[in-house]
Amino acid sequence: MYAEERRRQIASLTAVEGRVNVTELALRFGVTAETIRRDLAALHDEGVVHRVHGGAVANQSFRSAELPLDARQRASSSAKTAIAEAALRLVPQAEHCTIFLDSGTTISSLGTRLAGIGGQQAYSVVTNSIPTALELSGAGLREVQLLGGTVRPISQAVVGSTALRTLALIQADVAFVGTNALSVEHGLSTADAQEAAVKAAMVTNAQRVVVLCDSTKLGNDYVVSFAPLNEIDVVVTDAGAPPAFVEELRSHGVEVILASAEPLRD
């Protein structure tokens, strides 16, 4: 197992279980205690966990900080690729289906795969992501609609009242939605109220809601919640997701798909 995947699993375990121990983690992953300490130090520096004597505890505060788009694209890249590949199989095969794609980086990876199959399917895509709209526009899809409104520079997402009014008039077969965090108590959450409003509108106006979420986001909360568990049909995450958390999601009626791929070396 490479460092990226191990740290992703440690982050997820800490968020779900509340506390992790260096000795137990070393046994679990078959590495030295010193390796685990370096992992925890790196996760602490990223603000993912809080280092304590002998291990780490979950960062219990509701998060608000956002990373720039390029940094988010690099984070957990192998997991996001595997999740996007698995999500592609959930795209409806019916003709003339309409798909919502929001502005998450994992969603962007799915958009790249949709562009790859292009005109083979008669998809209409509605998105508030400028990079995704640009990539899909030349790929031969039936229709690509970029929502109008105000652009958030940090995410290159279109937000605001114009986007919300447009979404209110559209019904989609499926919404593929990203999230900064997923917890049983607060569902899906993100850092910005305007982006949350767009995500919530997509969830409301789609027959089926598929969430793409790498395992580092499980058990965490951001400041703005935009959808509870009962509005989610499927969560696609990576194999680092803690089994107990996966089972809890399933007990709430959420289908969970675990995507696996060879991790990339840091």
* Digit-coded pLDDT (tens) for 179-201: 999 988 889 998 888 999 999 99
User: What residue ranges do the domains of the chain occupy?
Assistant: 3-58, 69-259
Q: 264 pLDDT exceeds 80?
A: no
- Any alpha helices (H) in 174-242, and if so which ranges? 193-204
Backbone dihedral region of 133: left (phi > 0), alpha (psi from -120 to 50 degrees) or beta?
alpha
**d(Cα 254, Cα 111) in Å, to the nearest integer?**
23
Q: What is the mean pLDDT of the chain?
A: 85
pLDDT of res. 199: 95
Q: What is the pTM of this model?
A: 0.75
For residues 88 and 114, the answer to whether their CB atoms sit within 8 Å is: yes
**d(Cα 149, Cα 161) in Å, to the nearest integer?**
7
- Any alpha helices (H) in 118-206, and if so which ranges? 130-137, 161-167, 193-204
Q: Cβ–Cβ contacts within 10 Å for residue 69, how many?
A: 19
Q: 69 pLDDT exceeds 70?
A: no
What CATH number does the domain located at 3-58 have? 1.10.10.10
**d(Cα 236, Cα 164) in Å, to the nearest integer?**
26
Fold matches, 3-58 and 69-259: no
Q: Which two tokens stand for residue 76?
A: 């957990």
User: pLDDT, tens digit, for every residue of 86-100?
Assistant: 999 999 887 788 999
C-alpha distances (whole Å) from 30 to each of 13, 22, 33, 55, 89 are 16, 12, 9, 16, 34
Question: Scanning the structure block, which residue is given the tokens 């004597």?
Answer: 53
Candidates 188, 191, 198, 189; CA nearest to 102 is: 198
Entry field: residues in the chain = 266
User: pLDDT, tens digit, for every residue of 120-174?
Assistant: 667 899 999 999 999 998 887 889 999 999 999 888 999 999 999 999 999 999 9
Q: 118 pLDDT exceeds 70?
A: no
C-alpha distances (whole Å) from 221 to each of 73, 181, 240, 247, 262 are 20, 5, 18, 19, 28
- When pLDDT is averaged across residues 53-80 and rounded to a whole number, the result is 63
Q: 18 pLDDT exceeds 80?
A: no
What CATH number does the domain located at 69-259 have? 3.40.50.1360
Q: Would you give the distance in Å from CA 129 to the centre of its chain?
A: 14
Higher pLDDT pick, 265 / 156: 156
Confidence of residue 60 (pLDDT cuts 50, 70, 90): low
pLDDT of res. 216: 85
What amino acid is encoded at 32 in this protein? T
